[in-house]
Amino acid sequence: MARDEVDAQQEKPIALESPIEDLALSSRARNALHSLGCTSLEDVLRLDLSGWVRGIGPKTKSEVLTALRSTGLQHPELDEPPDSEIRSLDRRLERMHGRINAALGAVAREIATVRKRLRKRIGQ
């Protein structure tokens, strides 16, 4: 690439519609964002990074937030009050509660089915 082309790319303004390739990210971070369906900076800003995100570990998360900050964009995650971890934990507990209820419901249905078969047999 010619020197003028490099300078033009560096001076290119960053906008919400800009592709994530315009951020100074490692290929690992870029691939993680792509796997989450992010193609533009706006997509990245919509990600809920307050809790665990599949494929985005603490280092990648920090890299993405730092890259956004260096371009002048502020991710809502950076504006979160200190209790954001508590809210994140509450959401995680709610999801676990839902999975437990679903699993116990399946077990209860299975018990009812077996009980029904046993009662039929006893009644014979």
- pLDDT for the residue numbered 8: 45
Does the structure show a pLDDT above 70 at 34?
Answer: yes
- Of 53, 55, 95, nearest to 77 (Cα)? 53
Spatial contact of 60 and 28, defined as CB atoms under 8 Å apart: yes
Q: pLDDT confidence of 118, banded at 50, 70, 90?
A: very high
pTM tops 0.75, yes or no: no
Q: Is 37 left (phi over 0), alpha (psi -120 to 50) or beta?
A: left
Helices 58-70 and 27-35, axial angle in degrees (round to 10) = 100
State mean pLDDT over 82-110. 86
Q: Tokens 């690992």 identify what position?
A: 28
Pick the CATH number of 11-79 from 1.10.10.410, 1.10.150.20, 3.40.190.150, 3.20.20.100: 1.10.150.20
Q: pLDDT confidence of 1, banded at 50, 70, 90?
A: very low
Domain spans in the chain, listed from the N-terminal domain onward: 11-79, 81-124
- Of 82, 49, 80, 51, nearest to 64 (Cα)? 49
- Of 74, 83, 99, nearest to 16 (Cα)? 74
Which of residues 30 and 84 earns the better pLDDT score? 30
